[in-house]
Each structure stands twice: as C-alpha cells, then as structure tokens.
Amino acid sequence: MPLPRRKLPLLAAWLLLPSLAAAQGNPAAPAVGASGPAMPITAVPSGKDSHAIPLLPHAADAGEQWESFMGARIVRNVTAPTLTPFLPDPAKASGAAVVVAPGGAFMMLSIDSEGYQVARWLADHGIAAFVLTYRLKPTPRDPAAFLGQLTALLGGGARNVPTTPPEALADARAAVRLVRQRGGEWHIDPHRIGFAGFSAGAMTTLSVGLSDDAASRPDFIAPVYGPLGARAIPRDAPPMFTAIAMDDPFFAPFSGGGDLGLIAAYQAAHRPVEAHLFEAGGHGFGMRQQGKTSDLWIEEFYAWMKDRGLLKPQP
C-alpha cells in the first residue's frame, strides 16, 4: 500500500536522522519534495574518539563518512565497527555497564544524541558506557546521490521497517563479549552488562538481547522508540526497559505503527519488563531537550536500573 502523502516528510526525517525528528510536523522543517530533498549534508571532521576499540581488527575501513545534517552529526558507510568506552569516575563507579547503539535505519548513525551524549550521561552517573558504531548498509558517497536514493525509496511507497542486518547483530554480540571479557580491567561486573539502542539500534538491542547465544547476550536491555510488536520471548530473556512517545509516527501503539505485543509477550513469559509510554516527543528524541516528559526517559532508565539492584557498587 502506498504511503500516505502527508507521512512522506515524517518517514524522510526518520530515515535520514532519527535525532532530528523534532522537525516532524513542523511546517518550516525541510522535507522531501517533487524536485528532491532540500536537506543539505556537509562533511565534518571525524569525531571518532582516539580510544575507540576495533571490534574486527582486520576489517578494512572503506572511508566512513562523518557529516553534518541540519546541525547534527551523522556517520555512514561504516565498515570497520568500533566500541568507544566512557568510563565513570572510580569514586562513584557502580560496576554496571551499558553498550549504546545509535539509530539511523541501518544507513547512518545518529552519533551524538543517541550515542556520545547518552554515554556521557551514564558515565557521569557511575555507569560505564560503550558507544557501538556497527556496520551499516552501503550508501552513495555523494550526499546528493545519497539523498536522492532515499527520495526514490519514498517515491516507491516504501514503508517496511528494516530488519536487523546480520552484520549489525554480529557487531552487537562482539561488543557484549568484549565488555564481558575485559570487565575486570574496567571494574565492571560481568553479570551487569546492559544494551540500550534507539530506533534501528533498538531493533539491534532486541536481536542481541533475545538471541540464543548466552555468551553475547546482555544482562538487561533497553530498546528506546523501537518496534513493540509481539515476538517470541525466551524463558531466560533479560529484563527489559522500553520507552516510546505516543506521537511517534512509526512505532507508537495505536498510531498505525504497531501495538504493545512485545510488552504482552514479556509478561506472558513471566520476564521483568517496564514500559514508558510518553504523551509526546516524536520519533528520535534521544538526548534532545524538548520540554516534554519524554526528556526524562534516561532518568527513568537510571531509576529502573537502581530499582533492580544493578547499580550497587562492587565490594
């Protein structure tokens, strides 16, 4: 079924950069038109931290692109995945850790508001955080061609949500294994390692969290504004925290984007789950402050971790 015309700008914003979804519903926001997208992308110097750890040491970096889109950074054409540590002050370290997976439709990463800013907040609150740049689908190197590709996709009425590519899942598993293996070095309890992701990163979170590979399965998961449709939940599924805005045009329950089947399936499997359905915030709110209750999602996530006993300092 072709996508309703009024939803094209919304889907364009989601595909291009989840963290900029504040533009959704804003008449002044750039949108995709008949002549192509009016959304310039400009190159920026790589912001990759010098402490980034290669997950595939022999993988060739084909030249990942760090760019600015509407004032925020995106990264695309990632072929050599990395994990960047953000470690807390030892005086307030809790021993817990969270791997953070930014979103971006598996075509780019919203590296700041869904990556580095999340990790810094967690580290400031005593939680070791690790930003994962996972492998992405290849896109045209020329920004105009890249945006044109998305315009063509939208013109064809594309609406299907992408599934987690095997490369992204493999990188997520490698990230969990690495943090668990080096937990002693980073003063991390190997049994308190979580995984949080946003949009496409939320899909990756669910894929790694509900997999049958115990060595790479996180101890708790937090998919944020990801799909909430029903799926099979293992008997040993990790505790889950999830959050979404009810005006999210893609995954919000009862908006045409999904339902609460995932939460119901968790309950049916007798596994711990906490869900926050915020009234407003759109898709891709990340760490952006919008003056809405969805701004508080990370504080709620912290409170949930504390309530579950995940933040007790190691003896």
Rounded mean pLDDT, 210-233? 94
Q: What is d(CA 179, CA 184) in angstroms, rounded to the nearest whole number?
A: 9
Q: Which of 249 and 228 is assigned the larger pLDDT?
A: 228
Q: Give me the sheet containing 53-54, strands edge to edge.
A: 53-54, 82-86, 128-133, 97-101, 193-198, 220-224, 240-245, 273-278
Q: Is the pLDDT of residue 248 over 50?
A: yes
User: What pLDDT, on the 0 to 100 scale, is given for residue 255?
Assistant: 54
Given pLDDT bands bounded at 50, 70 and 90, which one contains residue 50? confident
Cα dihedral across residues 290, 199, 41, 8: positive or negative: negative
The lowest-confidence range among 24-28, 242-246, 290-294 is 24-28
Q: Is the pLDDT of residue 298 over 50?
A: yes
pTM: predicted TM-score of the whole model, two decimal places: 0.87
Q: Is the pLDDT of residue 64 over 60?
A: yes
Given pLDDT bands bounded at 50, 70 and 90, which one contains residue 93? very high
User: What pLDDT, on the 0 to 100 scale, is given for residue 39?
Assistant: 59
Given pLDDT bands bounded at 50, 70 and 90, which one contains residue 256? low
Q: Is the pLDDT of residue 217 over 80?
A: yes
143-160 pLDDT, tens digit per residue, is 889 887 766 544 443 354
Q: What is d(CA 109, CA 178) in angstroms, rounded to the nearest whole number?
A: 21
For residue 223, report the phi and psi dihedrals to the nearest 5 degrees: -80, 120
Q: What is d(CA 214, CA 249) in angstroms, rounded to the nearest whole number?
A: 34
Rounded mean pLDDT, 232-240? 96
Rounded mean pLDDT, 243-250? 88
Rounded mean pLDDT, 130-140? 96
The lowest-confidence range among 21-30, 157-166, 249-258 is 21-30
Q: Which two tokens stand for residue 206?
A: 């669910």
User: What pLDDT, on the 0 to 100 scale, is given for residue 10?
Assistant: 41
Q: Which two tokens stand for residue 98?
A: 């969270």
DSSP state of 31: -
Q: Is the pLDDT of residue 37 over 90?
A: no
Given pLDDT bands bounded at 50, 70 and 90, which one contains residue 314? low
Given pLDDT bands bounded at 50, 70 and 90, which one contains residue 41? confident
Write down all domains in the chain, each with its CATH number in brackets: 50-137+161-307 (3.40.50.1820)
Q: Is the pLDDT of residue 55 over 90?
A: yes
Rounded mean pLDDT, 183-200? 96
Q: Is the pLDDT of residue 296 over 70?
A: yes
Rounded mean pLDDT, 159-175? 87
Q: Are 187 and 93 in contact (CB under 8 A)?
A: yes
Q: Which of 202 and 61 is assigned the larger pLDDT?
A: 202
For residue 54, report the phi and psi dihedrals to the nearest 5 degrees: -65, 135
Q: What is d(CA 208, CA 195) in angstroms, rounded to the nearest whole number?
A: 8
Q: Which two tokens stand for residue 90?
A: 């030892």
The residue type at 3: L
Alpha helices in the chain (DSSP H): 8-16, 117-124, 143-155, 166-181, 200-209, 261-268, 297-307
Rounded mean pLDDT, 65-90? 93
The lowest-confidence range among 131-140, 144-153, 184-193, 289-298 is 144-153
Q: Which of 248 and 14 is assigned the larger pLDDT?
A: 248
In three-state form (DSSP H/G/I as H, E/B as E, the rest C), the secondary structure along 206-252 is HHHHCCCCHHHCCCEEEEECCCCCCCCCCCCCCCEEEEEECCCCCCC
